[in-house]
Amino acid sequence: MRYFIELSYFGKAYHGWQRQPNAISVQQVLEEVFTTLTGSQKSLVAAGRTDAGVHAKQLFAHFESEKIENTVDLVFRLNSFLPDDIAVKRILEVPSNAHARFDATERTYEYWVARQKNPFYLDTAYFIKQPLDVQKMNEAAKVLLEHDDFECFSKSNTDVKTYVCDIKKAEWTQVNDLLVFAITADRFLRNMVRAMVGTLLEVGLGKWTIDDVKYILESKDRSKAGPSVPAKGLYLTKVEYPRNSIKK
């Protein structure tokens, strides 16, 4: 039978979601705890792969298993064995052809920028002390909605077949003492959001113009775009699936 697992994690201690040969990952930790509790090895397929140090407020993954009689009890036991920076919310039985990655229709990320020095944001946001023109940053963000090829923001030497993404939302908002960039798309390229944020911040700092952003997008050249901002400020916040594919 196939099941979806919904989880969240604080990414500081991990080299991303996906298993790595010489580094600890969220997938490895979760699969090892599954093996300990059930006595059988589980292979988890996630909705996406977060990079090293990136956090996830919501992520779904699927796995195969014999009938689980009590999913609530399994969630409790998983959380008892998992480290404090990984939490399982629920386990759902889904159709046998349901796929956590390929069935996902939208993913939303947030990037947090701290506007004043705050020790509680040390590992959770990127502190920028210089003044930022948020209006210009939002004007530049609207330019992203006019394009669908984002090769200029993709990590080099990736194995993707296309750089096309359908961005549905990209905007900056003030949330208390944080400046939050929220972006929703059907898919994301490796390093894409962090490179986008780095580029938009260059606009906010007055170093680049809206026309510069247009030029960067048309160039399809990663070296033309801004620097990647630190991973600690990036959060995968929501993964959407077609109505009735999983129970909310």
pLDDT number for residue 30: 97
Choose, from 51, 149, 166, 186, the residue flagged as catalytic.
51
User: Is 51 assigned a catalytic role?
Assistant: yes
pLDDT number for residue 138: 98
Q: For the chain, which domains are there?
A: 2-102 (3.30.70.580), 106-238 (3.30.70.660)
With 0-12 CB in 10 A as exposed, 13-18 as middle and 19+ as buried, what is 18? middle
What does the pLDDT profile of the chain (248 residues) look like in tens digits? 999 999 999 999 999 999 999 999 999 999 999 999 988 888 999 999 899 999 999 999 999 999 999 999 999 999 999 999 999 999 999 999 999 999 999 999 999 999 999 999 999 999 999 999 999 999 999 999 999 999 999 987 677 789 999 999 999 999 989 999 999 999 999 999 999 999 999 999 999 999 999 999 999 999 999 999 999 999 999 999 997 666 55
